[in-house]
Structure 1
Amino acid sequence: MLIEDLPVDRTLITSLAHLGFTETTQIQAEAIPVAVAGKDLLASSKTGSGKTLAFLLPAMQRVLKTRALTKRDPRVLILTPTRELAKQVYSRLRLLVSNTNLKSTLVLGGENFNDQVKQLDKDPHFVVGTPGRIVDHLKKGLLHLHGLELLILDEADRMLDLGFAEQLKAVNEEANHRLRQTLLFSATLGHAEVNEFAGELLKAPVRIAIGEENQQHSEITQRFYLADNLNQKEKLLFHFVQQESNKQIIIFVATRKDTERLSTVLNEKGLSSIALHGDLSQSSRNQIMDAFSRGKEQILVTTDIASRGLDLLNVSHVINFDIPKHTEEYIHRIGRTGRAGATGDAISIIGPKDWDNFKKVESFVQQSITFDRVEGINPKFKGLKPVVPQADKGNKKGQDKPKVAQKKKPKNKGSINKTFHEAEDVGFAPMRRKKKTDGPIDTDEES
């Protein structure tokens, strides 16, 4: 569908044309008419599909073309799971309202509370924020939602996974009136908690599912490499980051500690690298993302804090130095490249400690994965093969044991020697126990 055919005000069509938009994506073509008609919406689409515009345009249309319910309350509230995604949404919104008299503000955890109070006192039409900080303002009576007309939940599945259910319920109760419209976007409509939550918030919603959560990105080439240990993983990483075809690269690791360590090593090798993780202050994170988005740094080493919402058009490669613990994050990670019709490369390095998570990813994407090799790097690790436990023949209750001559065991001592499958309730061949990770997986929870 052409942008000009959308059922929205011509002012918005003109703004989109100036921004270079001519055609809609599938989620935009299906979701915008439904939302503009005032119906509640429950929608899913893969990352990079253009869903931000799919809810911002109906929000703009509503505020421009209908009378406000109250004089002071925000008319539209957009909630996201992380600060980074909220900033991404807010930047798109600012572009759309730039030629209007509409006001908007950004309300995030980790930033100056009093400055946010001053912005809320200006009676913005749009508020974009994270659940924790929005509820903080609600509890202190600094924000009221009795006149809220449109509630938008972006990546609702992620918000629920991060434990924001109570905050979302508090927002729903504060803005619970019959004239409110709700748009809920999720990575998948198969998320049980999302469906249950949608039943509480939405009224007879229209359901739209564009593709599946595990749908592959046709614009992204995916490659997988095996490694024996950490040293070999680093050799593979250095090989990939020094290719001449690289533009910007995002390297995903499992722990906050490794972001700093790898970034330091890359800088020592003469590469331009910067680390991002949830332990950094908000101002530091802002500076890091600003430097990377403006091309001042070539490589961003990060935890899953940067796996969603960031729309960086110059990222040519994503490298999974560690395979994510949560399988859906794999799709979101690789979706940081191949944006806006460009092509991208996603490289995953799998060592023995990654194997279980890798097999979950392979099952999740529903395809058999083959491994590539780099000349001069020859891992011995070929993966951990499942073993089929052998039945203990003759040990079944009521059956006699095979008559085999054996020494008598001392009575009443108990046996301390157990078979591997009796001692370890696992389905893979014995191996050394894994060391604990250096720290928890970064979830970037808001306060």
Structure 2
Amino acid sequence: MFVCKECGYKSIQKFGQCPYCAGWNTSVEEKSEALANSRKAERISDIKCGSGKRITSGIANVDAVLGGGIVEGSIVLIAGAPGIGKSTLLLQAASGMEKVLYVSGEESPGQICMRSERIKSDSEDACAFAGRVQLLAAQNFDEVACEIERLKPDVVIIDSIQSIRSRPGQGLAASVGEMKEVAVRIVEIAKNSNISFILSGHITKEGILQGPKVIEHMVDVVMYMEESSDHAHRILYSTKNRFGNTREFALFCMTVGGLEVVPDASKYFLSGRCDIPGSVVVSACGGSTVFLAEVQALINTTSFQYPRRQVTGLELNRVYLVIAILERFTDIKLSSCDVYMNVAGGIKINEPAADLATAAAIASASTKRKVGKDTAFAGEIGLGGEIRNVSRLGERIDKAASFGFGKIIVPASGAARKNKIKVIEVKNIREALSAALVAPSQSPL
């Protein structure tokens, strides 16, 4: 740590001119601890493992995304666009926890209380949790640290990290240096005091967290909240989780009374589906959840020098692979066509099991032949055109059957068991498309 000998200003970096008193060459290095008191390395076998105790947020779907709740001493970062519902989610989560310090650098306690009056928690108003939650409106971390020392809460919620400065009069909030120093101090408190932190964060217009990337490396969990295509729903998912699966997601509906959990995501994702060429249903997995979603494809003759490939909700590189496989092993030619892919509802599917549905959607849109409305898909496609097995195939089949689908096209792995639904096992992409596409005479446009 470097300290100005004239005014006492501190910085983690050496400075020529003090930004506080404008003095030149006044910085001196100061060691905060004597070397004799520094920590010593220990054998892993001698270290007592943590209890692994988790704190529930009171919202089951949020706990699932976290991997079962908030681990003691962990730091969770929730990022999202302005107005997406981050503060509402944090307030609802606070209402389900004990001994919470809620720090806001953007709202006054009165404004937070007004917002909490709209939110219901079981049979009580959110304002009724005032005995458990302490509100603090502050914009410098020294005040926050003092309150943490005084109250010793189980969880500290900071809304938002960009609004907090490390010390009064030192730099601007949301600057790279300030955010780094605040993050360092949060990590120090969390790990030394075993206090959990939940931070909200702003995102840039490119959709990434505002500020230095190092913050995402320092925290334990990074979650993003996004808006669905109908603007009424919110999707919460994690991109980093040291204590759980990053493929979990939660779906909420934004209402006047706050965020309401959508119990069955499949029903929402399939609502409004039309029986047209290019529309198919995939049975997908998101962590511990199996759900159904609509994969859409649109094929147009290109007017560009290079054909366009625009993909939303699927992995772009896997779509490239599927297109190459279709051109190599079927009669479908896409080298002079624009390909547009979308997963309805705004959900992201990042697993190879969506390959078969992707291929069927592209083939259907290209040939203008519909896929049966009661047909679902689950399968990975290899580079040789073979259909490969996927995890939890039985659960995927059961999910399609529970929604009234008549058949599902899956890999010929022998893993499929008898079910209420007709299970069509295929070995390669040609067999799959032959079973999926309705004959032209049966598929009027």
> Is the TM value for this pair above 0.5?
no
With the length of structure 1 as denominator, give the TM-score of the two structures: 0.29
With the length of structure 2 as denominator, give the TM-score of the two structures: 0.29
More helix by share: 1
More strand by share: 2
